[in-house]
C-alpha cells in the first residue's frame, strides 16, 4: 500500500472541524475513483463518531482519523484518548416505536453499524480505537448499452 492510499489527519478533540474532514475525504475518494455512495457512508459515519467523541468522550489530545484503501475495501479508524468507551456495547435503539416515544441516543452508532460491513472497537492502552470497513462495489457504468 502506498502512502497515497492512506488519508491520515487529526482533529481538535473539543471542536473538530468535521467540514474539513469531509472535504478532504471527498477529494481522497474522488482521486481514487471510489463510488459516491461509499463516500456518503464514510462521511456520515465519521460525522456520527467524531461528534460523539467531541460531545461525550472527554478527549484531550487530537482525534486521529485514518482511511486506508486496499484491494476491494476501504478501512477507517478513529482514535481518541477519551474515557474508555466501547460504543458497540450499546443496545440497538428501538426504531419501531413512535419517534416521540423513543429514548434519546444510540441511533448514530446503530446507523454506522448498519452502513458498514464491519465495525470493531479496541482499547489500546489509553486510546479508544473504533475501526470500520466497507467493501468497494463498482458503480454501474451507465454509459454502456
Per-residue pLDDT band for 1 (boundaries 50, 70, 90) equals very low
Supply the pLDDT for residue 42: 97
Q: How confident is the model at residue 46 (pLDDT cuts 50, 70, 90)?
A: very high
Please report how the helices 36-56 and 107-115 are oriented relative to each other, as an axis angle in degrees rounded to 10: 150
In this prediction, residue 102 has a pLDDT band, given cuts at 50, 70 and 90, of very low
CB of 106 closer than 8 Å to CB of 93: yes
pLDDT at 137 over 80: no
- Give percent above pLDDT 70 in the chain: 81
Average pLDDT over residues 55-59: 89
| pLDDT grade for 99, boundaries at 50, 70 and 90 | low
Mean pLDDT throughout 72-101? 80
Mean pLDDT of 6-10: 96
Closest alpha carbon to 83 in 52, 119, 118, 48: 52
Question: What CA–CA distance (Å, rounded) separates 64 from 8?
Answer: 7
Give dist(CA 39, CA 97) in Å, integer. Answer: 30
Distance CA 15, CA 118 (A): 28
**Neighbouring residues of 7: CB distance < 8 A, sequence distance ≥ 6:** 24, 25, 28, 65, 66, 67, 68
pLDDT value of residue 145: 47
CATH class, 3-135 region? alpha beta
Listed range (31-35, 102-106, 134-138) with the worst mean pLDDT:
102-106
Report pTM: 0.83
List the domain boundaries for the chain: 3-135
The Cα–Cα gap between 11 and 19 comes to 11
Mean pLDDT on 124-137? 94
More confident residue, 57 or 9: 9
CA-CA-CA-CA torsion sign (42, 46, 49, 51) = negative
Rounded Cα distance between 144 and 108, Å, is 38
> C-alpha dihedral over 82, 23, 19, 135, to 10 degrees?
-50
Amino acid at each position: 500500500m502506498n502512502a497515497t492510499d492512506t488519508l491520515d489527519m487529526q482533529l481538535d478533540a473539543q471542536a473538530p472541524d468535521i467540514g474539513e474532514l469531509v472535504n478532504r475525504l471527498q477529494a481522497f475518494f474522488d482521486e481514487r475513483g471510489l463510488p459516491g455512495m461509499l463516500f456518503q457512508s464514510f462521511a456520515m459515519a465519521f460525522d456520527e463518531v467524531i461528534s460523539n467523541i467531541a460531545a461525550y468522550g472527554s478527549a484531550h489530545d487530537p482525534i486521529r482519523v485514518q482511511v486506508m484503501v486496499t484491494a476491494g475495501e476501504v478501512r477507517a479508524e478513529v482514535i481518541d484518548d477519551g474515557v474508555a468507551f466501547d460504543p458497540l456495547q450499546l443496545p440497538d435503539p428501538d426504531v419501531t416505536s413512535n419517534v416521540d416515544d423513543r429514548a434519546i441516543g444510540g441511533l448514530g452508532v446503530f446507523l454506522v453499524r448498519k452502513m458498514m460491513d464491519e465495525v470493531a472497537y479496541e482499547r489500546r492502552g489509553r486510546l479508544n480505537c473504533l475501526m470500520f470497513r466497507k467493501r468497494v462495489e463498482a458503480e454501474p457504468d451507465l454509459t454502456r448499452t
